[in-house]
Structure formats: structure tokens, C-alpha cells
Structure 1
């Protein structure tokens, strides 16, 4: 397992960030961690995890005096993109939970997440309450949606590979297009379908019943 350390001008001199691969059930997930002594904060990315976003979260955690643990989701950023990974919400939550647990030795974290990351955080908090102390959800997708023509979930996987991904990218704003290129098209399509299937009240029930949100 390769490990290395980098320095950033935006971080204090004693806040070197170590980056390593943590092994989940079916994929290696890239995990960034900053050093500190207080209870760790973990951030789950939304769909496309850019290096700049990871640096932002790490820098924020360091300046708060908290150790930051930032996870690239399976199929996103610099994590693995296995073709046999179904990218369901439970499978994503399991992988993220294993990655966080491997870094913290099972110590619970305060979980910060945005968009799809927040959706996964709800499932993670419900299935691994031992790992999530508090959860901060920002613009998390939990409301039912109707799939419309042109939506990612409206494409089949074959259609995604046969020109559909180019059509989807062409319809996005420039900044979104740049971010989406950091993710695997099939991973995005499977996640979009899984998310639409789960937005039937199930996530609302999980969030209300068992997630320690803040």
C-alpha cells in the first residue's frame, strides 16, 4: 500500500496531509487525512470529487484544529472504478464506512457531506451508528424525483457508452462538465438510477429515524 505526504502553502507548516488508499469491499478508496488531536471530521464528496474540493475540506478541518478525513467515492476522483461495483447506496455507504473505519480504527466521526454525499451519509449513519457521531447534511438529495428525458438515469448503460455521456456533458455548464469528467460514466449512471429508486420516502424515514444530524 503506497503512502506519501505532500505540503500545501494554504496549510499551516505542521499540517502535512497524508494520502493513502483504504481498502473497501470491492474497491480501493482514496482517503486524505490531516493531522490534529481532536475528534476527527470526515467529509464525503458529492458526485465528482475534484482535488481542489479535497484541499478545501482538508484546509477547513486543519484551521478548525480538527483532523480531517476526506474520502473520494468509488468511481469518483482518484478512487477505483470497478466495473462489477453496482454503486447502490448501501454498497457506497459500506465502502465509505470501511474506508473511514480503517483510518480511525473505528472511532466515531462528525460527518460532513454535500448533495449525493449527504444521501450516502444518511445510509451510513443508519447502518453504522457506531461510526457516525454527528452528521451535517448540505443540500442532500432525499426528496422523490421524476426521471425526465435527458436525465442521467433515463439513459441505459449501453446508451451512456454509445454517445450518451457526450450528450450529458454537452448539456452541462462548463464548471460542472469539468467536474463530471473526474467520475466514471457508468458509476454516475448506476448511482443516478439507485438514487431515483431510493427517493420514495425511504431516505426520509432513515433520516428521521436514526441519523444523528446537526
Structure 2
């Protein structure tokens, strides 16, 4: 029987936008020129995250830079979503290399988005940083589940990176049209961006606990204690 390491890693995407997203990717991928290699697309996506970070910082002085953030988010999606599709279509995929590179770049990109958002002033840095920690917790759980189940889940409760990007797009438009006005809550000065950030943090914590309990229950049934039948 094959060991866990010999079982291929499969991908599962149950995000709310996964169906139209996959149709769009299937339409775009054949149209890309040969010089747009998977590594080029990965670099494009990461470069866009650097632009998003810079534009967030500049938006502290001029909110019009939020439109540059949104443009960068679109390019980030383009590079991050198409690199693997192009590799598979051209028959040049490198599963372990691609998986490691993609996840490493995603973590760096989300770090830049979160810190940039905190430096923009639209959300308190503390809340942006804790929100990033929540994202990293969910990422770690996805990787742990991939190790024990050989299925890499790209979304939790219908939310994957594409859905998160869409939330950021909408939030940036809201920030531009109506900059947050601070109000006092138990001695803290918060804006609606901070409140949404707190909701995001609580939701991620809840999803983490629910996912952990669910996966442990599944594994307990598959691996009962020694001496007990399944």
C-alpha cells in the first residue's frame, strides 16, 4: 500500500466564486503568450502585492491611491491564479516546487497587504496585524489538513483568497467614498474598518476551532486507539 507521502496531493476549492473563477481562468490561460511562464506569473502577482503595499501607504495622504491598490489586487489575482493553470496546460508543472513557491509567496503577499492596510490609517495597525495572524492560522490549518488528508483546501466556509480579494476591493471603494469616522467604544477610538476587522478576526478564530474539531473527529474515526476496532 502507498504511504501518505506517495499519495498525490489534490486540491479542493469550494469558494463561493470558484465556479466562475475557474471558467475565467480556463478562458484566459490558452490566450497567454508563451513568454508568460508560470514563474513570470508568480513574480507578477508578487510584484502587484508590493505595489498594493506602497499604494496603501500613500493612501494615508491621498485616498485616491486606493484605486491603485485595487488595480494591484486584480494583477495579484491574475498572477497567483494563472501560474498553476498555465503550468498544467503546458505540461510543465512541478507539483512540489510550485506548491512551496505558491504558498510562500501567498504568505508574503498577505503580510504586505495587512501591514500596508495598517499603515494607511484606515484600520488600526493592531487590528490589521491580528487579522494577519488569523489568516496565518487558517493557512497553517490548511497545510496541516493537506498533510493528513492529502487534500489541500483552498477555501473555508466559502472563502478563499479570491473571495478575500473581492472583500478588499469593496472595502477600498468604501474607504474612498466614505472615509472612516472614529467613534469611542470602551475607551478605544474605532472606525467601521476596525469593526469589520474585528469581525474578520472573530470569524477566523471560530472557523479555526470548528475546522480543528471536525478534522480531529474525522481522524479519530480513521485511526481509533490501539486495541479498538473501527
TM-score by length of structure 1 reads 0.26
Higher strand fraction (1 or 2) = 1
User: Under a length normalisation based on structure 2, what TM-score does the superposition of the two structures give?
Assistant: 0.25
Q: Compare CA radii of gyration and give the structure with the larger one.
A: 2
Larger RCO, structure (CA 8 Å, separation 6 or more): 2
